[in-house]
C-alpha cells in the first residue's frame, strides 16, 4: 500500500511551520542516558522528554526559566521525532567575545569561564566588522572567581613554560618529594623543620635539639662563629633554648644553674 501523499500534503504547511520553533526551557531531566527536556514553543504547545542535542564531547545542564531560550527541530518533518536542537540559555549571561575569541562558561555565570583569544586580536581598536575590541589579553585564560579549580590524574601532570611560571598564593603546600634541578633563590626566610632556620637577613641557626649531629655539623660549617665542632664536641657560642626534654648520657658541667618558674 503506497504512502497517502494527499493527506500528508494537507498538513504540509503545519510541518514546514513547525520544523523549527523557538521557545523556553521548562524542565531538564538528567537521570537518563542523555539530557532530556520539557519545553514550551507556543501558546499551548508543550513537549516533554525531548532529547537535548549536544556536540560530542560537550554537554551543559542549564537551569529552566522563562528567559532560558531553546530551539526545537522536527527530524524529517515528523513531529513525533522532535528534539531540542539547542539551548541558548538566558541572553543576560552570554559573554561578548572579541573577534578571534571564544568562551566556555558556566551556565548562569559567565564570570566562571575558560577564555581563548588568538594572538594579534585587539591590535586594532575595531575589528573587521566594525566592533570595538575590549582589549582583553590574548592567550588561554581560566577564571574561577571564588570557586575551586582542580586537576586530577593518576598519571603525570606537566607544565612547560619557557618564559617562566608564576604562582601567587597566601600558602603553598607541596605534599611529596620535591626535586629542584636548578638554583633555589629565596628572598624571604627559609625554615626547615628540625634541621635549621635561615633568616632572610642573617646566617643559619640551629633548628631544635632533635636535629641530628650531622645536621648540626652542616650548620656549623656555615657559621663557625656561632657553632663549632671540636673532637666530636659541639660548642654553641650563645644561648641554647630547649623546649622539650634534654637527655644527657654524660656529665653536665655548668658555672651556674637558674631555675625558671613553670
pLDDT at residue 210, as a whole number? 39
127 alpha carbon, distance to own chain's centre: 31
pLDDT at 211: 44
- Confidence band (pLDDT; 50, 70, 90) for 26? very high
Q: Are 234 and 212 in contact (CB under 8 A)?
A: no
**Model confidence over 95-133: pLDDT tens digits?**
999 999 999 999 999 999 999 999 876 556 788 888 889
Q: Of 9-23, 109-123, 164-178, 196-210, where does the model show the most confidence? A: 164-178
What are the structural domain ranges in the chain? 5-91, 95-143, 190-236
- Report how far Cα 171 is from the mean position of its chain's Cα atoms: 16
What would the DSSP string read from start to end of 122-180? TSSSB-TTSPBP--PPSEEEEE-TTS------SS------TT------S-----S----
The pLDDT of 41-61, averaged and rounded, is 92
Pick the CATH number of 5-91 from 3.30.56.10, 3.20.20.70, 3.40.640.10, 2.40.50.230: 2.40.50.230
Q: 63 vs 29, 48, 66, 107, 112, CA distance in Å?
A: 11, 16, 10, 8, 16
Amino acid at each position: 500500500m503506497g504512502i497517502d501523499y494527499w493527506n500528508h500534503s494537507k498538513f504540509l504547511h503545519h510541518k514546514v511551520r513547525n520544523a523549527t520553533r523557538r521557545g523556553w526551557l521548562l524542565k531538564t531531566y538528567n537521570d537518563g542516558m542523555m539530557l532530556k527536556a520539557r519545553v514550551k514553543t507556543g501558546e499551548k504547545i508543550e513537549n516533554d522528554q525531548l532529547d537535548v542535542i549536544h556536540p560530542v564531547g560537550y554537554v551543559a545542564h542549564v537551569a529552566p526559566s522563562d528567559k532560558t531560550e531553546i530551539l526545537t527541530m522536527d527530524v524529517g518533518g515528523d513531529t513525533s521525532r522532535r528534539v531540542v536542537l539547542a539551548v541558548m540559555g538566558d541572553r543576560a549571561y552570554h559573554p561578548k567575545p572579541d573577534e578571534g575569541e571564544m568562551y566556555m562558561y558556566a551556565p548562569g555565570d559567565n564570570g566562571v569561564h575558560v577564555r581563548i583569544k588568538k594572538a594579534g586580536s585587539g591590535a586594532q581598536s575595531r575589528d573587521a566588522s566594525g566592533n570595538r575590541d575590549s582589549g582583553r589579553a590574548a592567550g588561554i585564560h581560566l577564571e574561577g572567581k571564588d570557586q575551586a579549580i582542580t586537576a586530577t590524574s593518576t598519571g603525570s601532570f606537566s607544565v612547560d613554560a619557557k618564559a617562566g611560571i608564576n604562582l601567587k598564593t597566601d600558602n603553598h603546600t607541596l605534599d611529596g618529594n620535591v626535586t629542584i634541578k636548578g638554583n633555589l633563590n629565596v628572598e624571604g626566610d627559609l625554615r626547615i623543620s628540625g634541621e635549621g632556620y635561615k633568616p632572610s637577613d642573617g646566617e643559619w641557626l640551629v633548628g631544635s635539639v632533635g636535629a641530628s649531629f650531622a645536621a648540626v655539623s652542616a650548620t656549623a660549617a656555615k657559621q663557625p662563629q656561632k657553632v663549632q665542632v671540636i673532637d666530636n664536641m659541639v660548642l654553641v657560642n650563645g644561648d641554647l633554648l630547649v623546649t622539650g626534654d634534654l637527655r644527657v648520657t654524660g656529665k653536665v658541667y655548668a658555672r651556674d644553674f637558674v631555675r625558671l618558674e613553670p
